[in-house]
């Protein structure tokens, strides 16, 4: 670029100087002629400076534009490379699909699939297009297997609601494994996040006809220490069920649960996804 600028500037100056010489040669060598020649030379020199400034400006603009274009190309190529690495395919939801089945088919968790597609609910519809992530850990997506890695709770809650959740877990999963207790808490959190249910822990637990301990009064018993820990883990991201919205004891199975896809089993407890 600097060579082009130099050649342009020199060419213009040489042409203007030649015109000056020719103009001076045609005039008599009088004082007026000399004055006129100097005046013309001055004007030409002034124009040379202007021409040089214009050349400098345009070359600078061209250089800046070229750098900007190159930077944009680099950024676009980088974005495309990342996009190509993350998304391996786009999946179109068909009737009968669920996030659980889609996630299982592609070897990822429901939560990873939801986070990558910015979904706030497990409800999907035929014709909906989902992006399937390739390397979830490399691009900041979390996994439910990460358990307590999150520093923030999945939902806001009060001290009263925390105690209520722990008491429900204690009543529903007494005698079950610790993981099953966490799973019970996770179902409550998943319901809070689902548009099918109330949007608070208290609202979910006290929703009419949903939990046996509310009906029989066992919800009022103090929570066991393990249930308190399980409540905290479920609030801060652990979900062994990967998004289940229902659970039951194998001795309490009714016709409704037979219509739902199973998400997780632990001891006597079975957890289900929504249809």
What is the structure's pLDDT at 87? 53
Q: How far is Cα 37 from Cα 42, in angstroms, rounded to an integer?
A: 9
Q: Are strands 269-272 and 246-249 parallel, antiparallel or unpaired?
A: antiparallel
What is the structure's pLDDT at 150? 55
What is the structure's pLDDT at 42? 47
What is the structure's pLDDT at 252? 76
List average pLDDT for each run of 10 residues in the chain, which is 275 residues long: 52 57 51 47 49 49 50 47 54 80 74 81 84 60 44 89 97 94 96 93 95 95 94 92 91 82 92 89
Q: How far is Cα 239 from Cα 267, in angstroms, rounded to an integer?
A: 16
Q: How far is CA 171 from the centre of its chain?
A: 38
Q: How far is Cα 176 from Cα 247, in angstroms, rounded to an integer?
A: 13
Q: How far is Cα 31 from Cα 173, in angstroms, rounded to an integer?
A: 115
What is the structure's pLDDT at 242? 87
Q: How far is Cα 235 from Cα 165, in angstroms, rounded to an integer?
A: 10
Sign of the CA dihedral running 96, 101, 106, 109 = positive
Helix crossing, 159-172 with 178-193: angle to 10°? Answer: 130
Q: Which residues pair with residue 18 across a beta bridge?
A: none
What is the structure's pLDDT at 225? 93
For 150, the token pair is 């999150």
């Amino acid at each position: 670029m600097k060579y082009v600028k130099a050649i342009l500037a020199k060419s213009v100056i040489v042409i203007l100087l030649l015109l000056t010489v020719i103009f001076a040669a045609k005039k008599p060598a009088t004082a007026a002629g000399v004055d006129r020649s100097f005046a013309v030379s001055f004007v030409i020199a002034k124009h040379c400076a202007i021409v040089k400034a214009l050349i400098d400006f345009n070359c600078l603009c061209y250089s800046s534009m070229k750098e900007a274009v190159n930077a944009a190309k680099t950024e676009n190529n980088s974005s495309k490379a990342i996009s190509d690495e993350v998304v391996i395919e786009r999946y179109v939801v068909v009737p009968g699909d669920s996030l659980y089945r889609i996630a299982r088919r592609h070897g990822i968790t429901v939560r990873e699939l939801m986070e990558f597609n910015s979904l706030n609910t497990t409800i999907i519809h035929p014709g909906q297009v989902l992006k399937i992530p390739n390397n979830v850990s490399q691009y900041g997506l979390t996994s439910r297997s990460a358990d307590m890695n999150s520093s923030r709770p999945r939902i806001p809650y009060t001290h009263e609601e925390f105690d209520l959740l722990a008491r429900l877990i204690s009543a529903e999963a007494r005698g079950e494994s610790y993981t099953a207790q966490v799973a019970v808490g996770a179902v409550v959190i998943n319901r809070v996040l689902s548009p099918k249910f109330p949007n608070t822990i208290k609202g979910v637990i006290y929703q009419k006809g949903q939990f046996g301990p509310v009906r029989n009064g066992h919800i009022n018993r103090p929570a066991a220490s393990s249930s308190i820990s399980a409540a905290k883990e479920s609030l801060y991201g652990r979900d062994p069920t990967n998004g289940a919205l229902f659970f039951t004891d194998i001795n309490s199975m009714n016709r409704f649960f037979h219509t739902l896809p199973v998400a997780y089993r632990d001891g006597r407890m079975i957890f289900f996804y929504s249809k």
